[in-house]
Amino acid sequence: MHPATAKWYDRRDSVFIEFCVADSKDVKVNFDKTKCAFSCIGGTDNVKHENEIDLFEAIDENESKHKRTDRSVLCYLRKAQPGKAWPRLTKEKAKLSWLSVDFNNWKDWEDDSDEEIGNFDQFSDMMNNMGGEDDLPDLDGADDDESADSDDEKMPDLE
């Protein structure tokens, strides 16, 4: 048995784990308050993969889900305490060779204050309230076709 390669990332109310196993069969994912267990048979050589993770914090196992695709199995773990950042996925600080951070989806959400989110909403409202082309002021001579530029003259024929 081999552990499946996995990537994870943290969000305000949940944690995501992606087990990277192509063509997985017999997928089993069990969520417990403080554990996540994954197993499957994967690939053309039918290798059995099995992972068990002692989670950093508790999760709501009834709200946690998983979805299988042809390339991986994505697990959504609902945090028992939303708004609390997880500095790592596991309870232990040990480095696991099969586990890495998914930097493509990582976001430092804990730095976002409510004030900054409010400012962004105000900015969005301002952008939505700005007028369209009909509200542009008239520019003198902008629509006059009679004022031809020097580069609009006919070019002489080539010899």
Mean pLDDT of 98-112: 83
Mean pLDDT of 25-52: 94
The domain spanning residue 49 has which CATH number?
2.60.40.790
Domain of 92 in residue numbering reads as 6-100
Count Cα neighbours of 106 within 13 Å in the Cβ-side half-sphere.
12
Cα–Cα dist 106/127, whole Å: 27
Domain-located, residue 134? no
Residues present in the chain in total = 159
Total structural domains within the chain: 1
Taking only the tens place, the pLDDT of each residue in 4-34 is 999 999 999 999 999 999 999 999 999 999 9
Among 102, 6, 16, residue whose Cα is nearest residue 50: 6
Domain-located, residue 23? yes
Domain-located, residue 69? yes
Cα–Cα dist 14/77, whole Å: 5
Domain-located, residue 62? yes
Which phi and psi (to 5°) does residue 67 adopt? Answer: -140, 130
Domain-located, residue 145? no
Token representation of residue 81: 């305490």
Question: Does residue 54 contact residue 99 with C-beta atoms inside 8 Å?
Answer: no
Mean pLDDT of 51-69: 96
Q: Work out the widest C-alpha separation in the chain, in whole angstroms.
A: 85
Which phi and psi (to 5°) does residue 142 adopt? Answer: -70, -30
Name the residue with tokens 């480095």.
Answer: 95
> pLDDT at position 158, please?
82
> pLDDT at position 129, please?
59
Instruction: Check residues 35 and 120 and name the one with the higher pLDDT.
Output: 35
pTM passes above 0.75: no
